[in-house]
Amino acid sequence: MRKLFFSLLFLHLFMYLNGQSAELDALQTQAQQALKKGDQKSEALALKKLAEKQADLGNIYDALRNADRSIQLYRELGQQSEAYHAYRTIFTIHQQLHNGDKILEYALPALAYAEKIRDTLLILRMKTAVGVGYSEKKQFKKATQQYLECLELEKRLGESPTYTNVSSAYIEERDYPRGLEYARLAIQQCIADKDTFVLAISYVCEAYAHARMRNGSAAQASVAKIEALAKALPEKVIDRDLAMIRHLANAAEGNYQAAYRYAVQYHSIDSTLSSSERSAQYAALETLYKTKAKEVENAQLATRLARQRTWLILVLGAMLTLGGLYFFQRRQMKIREQLLTAEKELLELEHQQTLLTQANYERELGDYTQLLLEKNRQMDALNQELLQSRQQAVLSADESQVLSAQLSNTSILTEADWRNFRQKFERVYAGFFDKLIKLVPDATEAEQRLMALTKLELGNDEIAAVLGILPESVTKTRYRLRKKLNDADLVAVVRGM
């Protein structure tokens, strides 16, 4: 539901025309000409528009760099309001990266500034952004509070209240009754405003709440209303989320075959998954619904067994013959064998599901490690770009020195990165750090990180890249660890943990 909410929210707020190469070149030319003339105001405006187009086209890092430069120029000009209004491109970029911390880093100071100058419209925009940041961090109660305050501001400005944001936030909190209540308020408001686009979104929220409350028939009724408004939504969005709602509605009604079919349809449309992730999702779904089907089959067998037992006991009581008893025993034996076979198959399916889950954890850990390595490569690329800009005299000496210092002080492996890495690592190698602390009680944080990366069989250069340090520093840390382990082989120690 959170993916649906953010995709539709930003689609509704920042619906731009797809940028073309010629338009990007024109904006870059405007920015360069303004820089040569020393016209900071024109340069800031051109960079702001350029960043918006690049963000639209998915050129995230170029957009981020140009947006930061635009904000810096507005601040140098003393145009704080323009700087904060330029933040919406930053929010769009970090929302695509699902980086709630960065959204809040920009939005909270902007909100404080807006409240200081009493700019109600800017307050409304920043509170919406703060709500998005909290949602990305899965702090849904805080997000809900921000959206409720936005309702009051919209009423003060005479604008139509955005009940859909509140509905989505409550649904993310799993407070489905309140989510349903605000979805219905949104539907009434949209009908009054004749806003077909948001009306379709509101019906999606209503259908999702019904499905999560296991009210399959009500969810299907909402789906029918969405289909009537399908032209108001982008095709991929409506197809994807209708598939998810139908999946939940059919699962609530116990129709697992249809639920599985719509779940596969949803994941085949969802563009946020890689091919390997989609294959893993398919395998997990197939195992899940086969397990559900097997449970139904087992229940039917158990019911059949109970009925036959009662019937045959009555027959035996009436006939009082050994022939009747013999028949009953043979029948019971056959059904017990079927039950044993079904239970074995169920245990095997559950075992397969456990193996799939472990394989997914290992894949996530490997992908995240590669992401950290890619982050270092991005930093190297930015340093090279800075060097080229300095040689071409695009930036002044002071600007180059400031940007170089900022890049030098940027942490390759942040605390948030390490927490995410450690969480994924412990899901694959449970108890690793507990064993490490018992083995080396005085192990430093750097030594713990090195041991974990050694467990992944990374070389010195790769470990240095992930940690953002020199290979010589990795060698020194290894030497200190060997001394603490009485010159034991680090690789052999790690393998045994």
Domain positions in the chain = 2-276, 277-400, 411-495
Q: Please answer whether residues 211 and 219 qualify as being in contact, where contact means their C-beta atoms are separated by less than 8 angstroms.
A: yes
pLDDT, tens only, 363-377: 877 777 777 777 777
Quote the tokens at residue 133.
């940041």
**Distance, C-alpha 230 to centroid of its chain:** 25
Q: Residue 197's pLDDT is what? A: 76
Quote the tokens at residue 13.
């707020």
Q: What are phi and psi of 86, to 5 degrees?
A: -70, -10
Q: Is the pLDDT confidence value at 98 over 80?
A: no
Contacts of 389 (CB under 8 A, 6+ apart): 395, 400
Q: Residue 300's pLDDT is what? A: 77
- Concatenating the DSSP letter of every residue in 184-221 gives HHHHHHHHHHT-HHHHHHHHHHHHHHHHHTT-HHHHHH
pTM of full prediction above 0.85: no
Q: Residue 185's pLDDT is what? A: 92
Q: Please answer whether residues 244 and 2 qualify as being in contact, where contact means their C-beta atoms are separated by less than 8 angstroms.
A: no
Q: Is the pLDDT confidence value at 396 over 80?
A: no
Greater pLDDT, 105 or 150: 150
What is the distance between the alpha carbons of residues 225 and 418, in angstroms, rounded to a whole number?
A: 46
Percentage of residues of the chain with pLDDT beyond 90: 3
Q: How many residues make up the chain in this entry?
A: 497
Can you tell me the mean pLDDT for 461-473?
84
Which pLDDT band, with edges at 50, 70 and 90, does 2 fall under? very low
Q: Please answer whether residues 27 and 64 qualify as being in contact, where contact means their C-beta atoms are separated by less than 8 angstroms.
A: no
| Summary mean pLDDT of the chain | 76
Residue 430: exposed, middle, or buried by beta-carbon count in 10 A (0-12, 13-18, 19+)? Answer: exposed
Greater pLDDT, 266 or 462: 462
Neighbour count for residue 237 (Cβ, 10 Å): 18
Which pLDDT band, with edges at 50, 70 and 90, does 241 fall under? confident
CATH number for 2-276 (one of 1.10.10.2520, 3.40.640.10, 3.30.390.50, 1.25.40.10): it is: 1.25.40.10
What is the distance between the alpha carbons of residues 166 and 207, in angstroms, rounded to a whole number?
A: 15
Q: Is the pLDDT confidence value at 441 over 50?
A: yes
Q: Is the pLDDT confidence value at 390 over 90?
A: no
Q: What are phi and psi of 191, to 5 degrees?
A: -65, -40
Q: Is the pLDDT confidence value at 202 over 90?
A: no
Fold for the domain defined by 411-495: Arc Repressor Mutant, subunit A (1.10.10)
Neighbour count for residue 24 (Cβ, 10 Å): 17
